[in-house]
Chain A
Amino acid sequence: MIEARLRKILAVFEGKRGALVPILQRVQEEFGYLPEETLKEIATFLRLPRSQVFSVATFYAHFYLTRRGDHLVKVCQGSACHVRGASDILETAQYRLGIKTGQTTRDYEYSLERVACVGSCAMAPVVMIDDEVYPKMTAFKMNELLSRDKEDSDKAGQRTSRPERGKGQK
Chain B
Amino acid sequence: MTTPDRQHTLPPITSLDDLDSLRESLITSEGLDPVYVTICGVPGCGVSGGQQIHEAFLREIKTQENEENIIVKRTGCQGLCEKGPIVTVRPQNIFYHSVTPDDVPEIVEETLIKKRCVERLLYEDPQTGQKHRHIDEIPFYQKQIKVVLRNCGVIDPNDIGDYIRIGGYGAAGMVLARWQPDEVIACVKDSGLRGRGGAGFPTGRKWESSRNAPGEEKYIICNGDEGDPGAFMDRSVMEGDPHSVLEGMIIAGYAVGAHKGIIYVRSEYPLAVRHLTTAIAQATDLGLLGPQIMGSSFGFEIEIVKGAGAFVCGESTALVMSIEGKRGFPKPLPRPNTSIVGLWGMPTVLNNVETFACVPAIVSKGADWFASMGTEKSKGTKVFALSGNVKNTGLVEVPMGTTLREIIFDIGGGIRGDRQFKAVQTGGPSGGCIPESLLDLPVDYESLAEVGSIMGSGGMLVMDERTCMVNMARYFLDFAQNESCGQCTLCKLGTRQMFQLLRDITRGEGRPDDIAVLLELAEAVKAGSICGLGQTVPNPVISTIRYFRDEYEEHIRDKRCRALVCRSLISYRIKEYRCKACMLCLKACPVDAIIGGKRQVHEIDQSKCIKCGSCMEACPTKFNAVECISGLTM
Contact = CB atoms under 8 A, between A and B. Distances in A.
A, B bound: yes
B614 A21 contact: no
A120 B425 contact: no
B428 interface: yes
Nearest to B328: A59
A126 B591 CA distance: 22
Interface stretch (B68-76, B96-104, B388-396): B388-396
Nearest to A56: B327
Contact of A121 (B344, B387, B618): B387
B45 A143 contact: no
B332 interface: no
Contacts of A21: 305-306, 308, 322, 325
B406 interface: no
A68 to B, nearest CB: 14
A107 to B, nearest CB: 20
A65 interface: no
Contacts of A25: 267, 306, 308
A140 B588 contact: yes
Contacts of B309: 60-62
Nearest to A142: B590
A122 B327 contact: no
Interface string A79-90: 111111100100
Contacts of A79: 229-230, 387-388, 425, 428-429, 459, 461, 472, 475-476
B325 A122 contact: no
Contact of B306 (A20, A22, A56, A143): A22
A119 interface: yes
A167 to B, nearest CB: 16
B336 interface: no
A81 to B, nearest CB: 8
B463 A17 contact: no
A143 B231 CA distance: 28
A88 B386 contact: no
A19 B612 CA distance: 44
B44 interface: yes
B105 interface: no
A79 B385 CA distance: 12
Contacts of B393: 80, 121-124
Q: Which of A21, A115, A119, A126 has the most CB of B within 10 A?
A: A119
Nearest to A46: B325
Contacts of A59: 310, 327-328, 485
B298 to A, nearest CB: 24
Contacts of B230: 78-80, 117, 121
A19 B325 contact: yes
Nearest to B45: A120
Contacts of A135: 46-48
Contacts of B614: 88, 92, 138-140, 143
A119 B226 contact: yes
Q: Which of A17, A22, A91, A139 counts the most B-chain CB atoms under 10 A from its CB?
A: A139
Q: How many A residues touch the partner, as a band?
A: 35 or more
A21 B323 CA distance: 8
B479 interface: yes
B596 interface: no
B260 to A, nearest CB: 12
Contacts of B445: none
Given A79-B476, A122-B394, A140-B617, A60 B45 contact: no
B82 interface: yes
B269 A91 contact: no
A18 interface: yes
A122 to B, nearest CB: 3
B463 A119 contact: no
Contacts of A88: 611-614
B612 A92 contact: yes
Interface string A106-135: 000000000111111111101000010111
B310 A61 contact: yes
Contacts of A126: 46
Interface in B305-333: 305-311, 322-328
25 contacts: A17-B325, A22-B305, A52-B326, A59-B485, A62-B308, A63-B308, A79-B387, A79-B428, A80-B387, A82-B229, A85-B613, A95-B591, A96-B590, A117-B268, A118-B44, A119-B232, A120-B44, A121-B231, A121-B393, A122-B232, A122-B395, A123-B46, A135-B47, A138-B614, A140-B617
Interface of A: 17-22, 24-25, 52, 55-56, 59-63, 77-85, 88, 91-92, 95-96, 115-124, 126, 131, 133-136, 138-140, 143
Given A79-B461, A122-B393, A131-B270, 4 more contacts: A88-B611, A92-B612, A122-B395, A139-B613
